[in-house]
Structure 1
Amino acid sequence: MIRRLASLAVFVAAALGSYYGTLATAPYGLMWLAEAKLAKSGPVNHFTHTPPVRAERQFVVRPSPDLLYSVCPYDLTAGPLEVTAVPVPGRYSSISVFDARTDVAFVRNDEQMGGEPMRVVLALEGQQTPAGIDTVRVRYATGIVLQRVLLADPSEAAAIDPIRSRARCRTLTG
């Protein structure tokens, strides 16, 4: 009887360890896969502005066809990253920052921007940032900045592209 209980205890401990190990590591693995896939579409610390989503051109799992996406995979090891974005008048738009663990570190939408360009710096703890700019401290050096712009009709993409292409990610050095 004691032998069976000991075997059951070992089995339960192994199952719980596996379960919690998966919960702890899966977000990092998923973000690593997303960053690797996005790195093929453009350089790190720069926005890539994609055309409207179609089934054969999906870079996000289950993307919305009524949104235009711009992505900036980032790496803060060389220094903080300045992110700028311009809201598109009359359209919902947002900037979201996801860290290496897939946690949302920052979100700002067009309403919060008040029609004005947004400028924010992403930095690790201890990295110097310029005075007078909102700073978002992130826990991990890598992640993804995602800009979304809502379309009323896919044909609007060409007219909106010049505005959303003014979004920038750039490493601040020195």
Structure 2
Amino acid sequence: MLRECFVMVMTHYMELLAVNQPWNLILYMAIPVILAETIAVSELYLLYTRALDGWVRQINRWAGILVGIYFSGITVTLLVTAVGPLSASGGWRGPIDVIAVGFYLLGVVPLGGLALLELGVVARERSPWERMKIHAGLVAVFLVVAHVAMIFGMLDPSLAWAGAMEGMGHGGHN
């Protein structure tokens, strides 16, 4: 009975990263985060130096294009293989689980925006500095969205339903 009190349920976000080690962690976390951090760090350099060209700008540009395309693929894959089936079967583990996965997938908006900006699909008529402001804003939005996903992803999803979970065999407290 004491052992049941300490059973923790993982969010689907955390479970995705934990299974098939180390591949899921690399594919779904390391690659996008390394690219996003490369963009964030190079963005700081570019904003500080006001450099609009050079090798740091090229790294920033290509990382933006690559992460936008890559994360779009991740989003489509997870919508088809996880979100759809979980929604159809009622397999979500509560609101914390939905928030963690939802915010993770919401990362496609700023990352896709970065790729579209770098490819000249959007804001093409804007000045280089106006595009840089948009770029920095998209980086900031991604960092917020990703951190919300990580924070909720690390929570025990049963915390949101602690009262409703009692007696249901889901690790609720007796």
Asked whether the two chains share a fold, i.e. TM above 0.5, the reply is no
Q: Which has the higher helix share?
A: 2
Q: TM-score, normalising length from structure 1?
A: 0.25
Q: Which has the higher strand share?
A: 1
Kindly indicate whether structure 1 or structure 2 has the higher relative contact order, using CA contacts under 8 Å at least 6 residues apart: 2
Larger radius of gyration, structure 1 or 2?
A: 1
